[in-house]
Chain A
Amino acid sequence: MKDLKHLYYFEKLLEDANNELVRKAKEEGKKCVATVCENVPEPLLNLPGTFSVRLRAPKTGSMEMATYYMTSFLCEYSRALLERAIEGGYNFTDCIITPDGCTMMNRCVENMELLKTMGKNNEKFFYQYMEIPMKADDNGQNLYVLQCKNHILTPLKETYGIDISDEALRKAVAEHNEVCRLIRQIGEYRKEENPRITGYEFHIITMVTYVAPKYLLIDKLRETLEEIKTREPDEKNKYRARVVFVGSEVDDVDVIKLVEDSGAYVCADRFCLGSFPGRDEIILNDEEDVLTQICRQYMYRGQCPRYMNQEKIQARRKYVADLAKEYHADGVIYEQVKFCDPWAYERMVGTVVLRDDYKYPVLAVDRPYSIGNSGQMRTRVQAFVESIEIKKIQGGRK
């Protein structure tokens, strides 16, 4: 296929947390709100005068300092972020808002605070820790709304004078929705038998929407969608199987690439920094206050394994099965960053349920934060692809 016009540009944006668009927005006087988890409602961080950045640590090498502070038993994502923070890599941000989501991320941000790694030359820099619900119900929703008020909106208003009115929130949701629509439309092309966009390309396009100011990206996303509409796929489909990629945080540009280089087309992405459910639109009505509506939709659509009620747990597996069906997947890859407790359990049970109850072949893997050219991972995916092919040939169970 012909290269997408803006792909190289998007890839360049992902090479640095403080990327070109972040710098541009900062030059325009906007405040950069950092976060580390999908459970912080994104539109609330993208109000007039602010933009959000999900922290990443591209090109991570040594994590020795972070390993000293948090030992080698914490997940590499949390250690990579702390290492980058210690190096001063996040001093472009104006605050960080984090939920007490998983223990490791919480400890990561606490270490950032204790080590005074951020807020250089910005006396107004603040850290906020949120309590977020672990069950989707009315009580959880009330908590979510209150926490968003107390730990996002009020500090932004009081510290930086940000407009947090309903009107401002609606504007942020509208911008958010436009990005979501574009991503979803681009992603729809992954359903094709011989798709005109690779999983890798889609991953890159989706990921930039989490790490760069959205208003500066929208034009390029629109252009990319138009380009894909008329893009000619390769004559022969080079992939031997189609998989849904499910799991914990994936911000390494090489992960999906490696899977696809091993013969498996990633037709759907259900992971933190993926498009499901992160790029679902937020539908607002005119009757209820905007914040409540945003929180409710984040809570009920959330696929994070920390939601602990059995109804939510079962729904998570069905969600994956539905994606596999809709995107015509032959199998599912469950992955987790090594040492991630929530996804360790989710991966274990999800693998069994998807295999036994939904009859999908499943590969379960754990991986380092930066996968690079992992031979182990490549071998496992290749073997998985072969096993799917053999099942197809033999006409056995899916």
Chain B
Amino acid sequence: MAKEIGKDRLGDLYSHGKVRRRREWRGIKDTWYDYTRWLWIMKTLTLFLIKPRNIKGLFRYRWMVNYFAVPMMVDRHTQGLRGEYLRICHLEQDLIIEDVAKLLDNLFRGDRRLGNDTEFSKKVCLVDENEMTAILMGFPTVKGLSRETPATYVSVLLNQNAALHYIDVAQEYGLPGDVCPMPEAEAGVSIDDDYPVLGACAVQCNTTCDGSLMGNGVISKRLELEDGIPVFQLAAPLRHKEDDVQDYAAQEVRNAIAFIEKHTGEKWDWKYYFECAKRVNESTRHRMDWLDMNKTDYPQVFGSNLALYTETNYMAICGKIPAFVETDRKISALAEQAYKAKKRAAKEYRHRAIIWGVQSHYYMDFLVWLLNCWGIVPLTDMLSMVSTKMIAEEDTPENREQAIYDIAWLTENMIMRNRTHGGYKVLLDELWEYCEEFHADMVILWEHMSCKALDGMHGQFEEKARERGIRLMWVNHDLFDPRIVSRQGVRDQVNRYMRSVLREEPIDPSLEILPDENSW
């Protein structure tokens, strides 16, 4: 039990059960801080559950049981962290927890089966899990709620097995097992009628891939034809780098806004939009600062911290919630402090890696493991490399027109979508540019086996990496389904590469093989 980074054998904390043997000792100050944050999480959960309709929700919706694993999820991401890194992680994770708790509370409030607050429901616009919510930046009184986010996306972060039931439901209904399990599970929840039913309308987007697009059709069938909730399909262009698609994209945004106005009775508010736009730009500037730090020898905001937070802030928040910008500022201050003191998050940094491809959802804390076990610093990841373009933030007549194009741009450049669509250059060529920028000596390429956009470039990645002399490590997984490749299966691929190709020994050998197959 040690205060110093890297002194403990972190693998010894694992048991064969759902939770670990004990909490990590990080020295008095950090352990106390971590414990207070644990208490805060328990308080958030308690306050959520204290409402009778939320207790009903717990029993009505199968996926709700996963939320008992929230504290464990945070513990997984804080493994081995001390000082500023621990605080950055908690700032991010705790805010996301609070945001998801509010999302669940709102979903159950409007749900026809639970709260059935019809007046509230009339001001709700449902959105996809994988959708930029920029089209809601001008609707201060409309609640944009995603049902897929708590039902599948967050659930799998909490419990690796959370989506299995819904994947099986979709397959029993006739869906082949070779499609991406994320939209498959989302469709499965709809087939199982396990989403809250609420809202004046819904806006779906042709998001990351064909599977996601098609899964939306299953969901909208129930929404429109059975629940009577009108759905607008926002068809953002796929070849988003081309100039000749931008007018079309802007018109799609105008049509989506008109649709929301029609069904919620609310009007687009330019003042609110530009307030949100300012926050979007500030968040972008913070993210760029963190990425700049990660190009140096002292990266500060990286790994799953960067990935998970960016996904939430960039895509789901879009400047609408001021608390996220406030947290950005706190993170930047902590990062700056650690940077000036030349601090590092692990005892040894051996390799600088770009993480590319679609990360395994059931093993989101893999990046923490990479650092602690092998000293591989995950400088940035594909999903964090999103738009850094500043959008118009002053309310002028010209900017009102520009704003529509900015919303379209953000929608087109949604997380993952900005890489899986838009031609091979954004997926393939830009990776090597990032390798140079970040002085990376290694690329860890997640091969999500049913992601056709990534699989389709497999050979090109290998050839180009070889030409450039960059070490490329493939890590297979099946996104939502640990039955196909287990967490240890993921780790084994790294262990094999590090031992047999690079001839290295792990920094913390206790982490090489972990008994976490039954763990949340």
Contact = CB atoms under 8 A, between A and B. Distances in A.
Given A68-B458, A70-B456, A341 B210 contact: yes
Contact of B173 (A147, A346, A348): A348
Across the A-B interface, give the 8 residue pairs with the lowest CB-CB distance, nearest first: A107-B456, A69-B459, A345-B214, A341-B210, A134-B235, A348-B174, A143-B248, A71-B455
Interface string B200-224: 0000101001110111111011001
Contact of A131 (B217, B245, B455): B245
A327 B471 CA distance: 59
Interface of B: 170, 173-176, 178-180, 187, 204, 206, 209-211, 213-218, 220-221, 224-225, 231, 233, 235, 237-239, 242, 244-245, 247-248, 251-252, 255, 420-421, 423-424, 447, 449-450, 452-453, 455-460
Interface in A276-313: 305-306, 308-310, 313
B458 A69 contact: yes
Nearest to A135: B235
Nearest to A313: B217
A74 B452 contact: yes
B516 to A, nearest CB: 27
Nearest to B224: A310
Given A129-B239, A146-B248, A305-B217, 6 more contacts: A69-B458, A69-B460, A306-B210, A310-B221, A352-B174, A366-B176
A349 interface: yes
A268 B420 CA distance: 36
A258 to B, nearest CB: 20
Nearest to B217: A313
A133 interface: yes
B424 A114 contact: yes
A114 B174 contact: no
Interface stretch (A5-13, A27-35, A97-105, A234-242): A97-105
A173 to B, nearest CB: 24
A129 B453 CA distance: 16
5 contacts: A73-B452, A74-B452, A308-B216, A313-B220, A344-B178
Contact of A100 (B214, B244, B421, B450): B421
Contacts of A147: 244-245
Contacts of B206: 134, 308
Nearest to B231: A310
A308 B235 CA distance: 8
Contacts of A133: 235
A24 B151 CA distance: 59
B460 A146 contact: no
Contacts of B179: 341, 344-345
B176 A344 contact: yes
Given A103-B453, A134-B206, A313-B221, A70 B239 contact: no
A131 B178 CA distance: 26
A142 B255 CA distance: 14
Q: Is the interface of B mostly helix, strand, loop or mixed?
A: helix
Nearest to B171: A348
A342 B456 contact: no
Nearest to B459: A69
Given A107-B453, A139-B248, A114 B175 contact: no
Contacts of A129: 239, 423
A347 interface: yes
Contact of A111 (B238, B244, B459): B459
Given A73-B455, A129-B239, A110 B424 contact: yes
Interface in A322-354: 336, 338-339, 341-342, 344-349, 351-352
B244 A347 contact: no
Given A129-B239, A131-B237, A310-B225, A345 B173 contact: no
A150 interface: yes
Contacts of B242: 131
A58 interface: no
A344 B217 CA distance: 12
A47 interface: no
Contact of B452 (A104, A140, A310, A313): A104
Interface string A85-102: 000000000000000101
A114 B221 contact: no
A108 interface: yes
A364 interface: yes
B452 A344 contact: no
B452 A341 contact: yes
A349 B217 contact: yes
B455 A142 contact: no
B243 to A, nearest CB: 10
Contacts of A309: 233
A134 B211 contact: no
B214 A103 contact: no
Contacts of A140: 235, 248
Contacts of B252: 139
Interface hub of B255, B453, B459 (most chain A Cβ within 10 A): B459
A76 to B, nearest CB: 12
Nearest to A351: B174
Contact of A305 (B214, B245, B459): B214
Nearest to B225: A310
A111 B424 CA distance: 9
Contacts of A139: 248, 251-252, 255
Contact of B213 (A106, A143, A308): A308
B277 to A, nearest CB: 24
Contacts of A308: 204, 206, 213, 216-217, 233, 235
Interface in A97-152: 100, 102-104, 106-108, 110-111, 114, 129, 131, 133-135, 139-140, 142-143, 146-147, 150
Highest count of chain A CB atoms <10 Å: which of B210, B213, B224, B450: B210
Contacts of A342: 210, 213-214
Contact of A103 (B248, B452, B459): B452
B210 A348 contact: no
Given A68-B458, A308-B233, A102 B210 contact: yes
A114 B214 contact: no
Contact of B215 (A70, A71, A142, A345): A345
B244 A150 contact: yes
Contacts of B458: 68-71
B423 to A, nearest CB: 7
Contacts of A102: 210
A348 B183 CA distance: 14
A311 to B, nearest CB: 9
Given A139-B252, A344-B176, A344-B178, A73 B450 contact: yes
A103 B179 CA distance: 13
Contact of A108 (B174, B210, B245, B456): B456
Given A139-B251, A143-B245, A346-B214, A131 B456 contact: no
Given A107-B452, A351-B174, A131 B233 contact: no
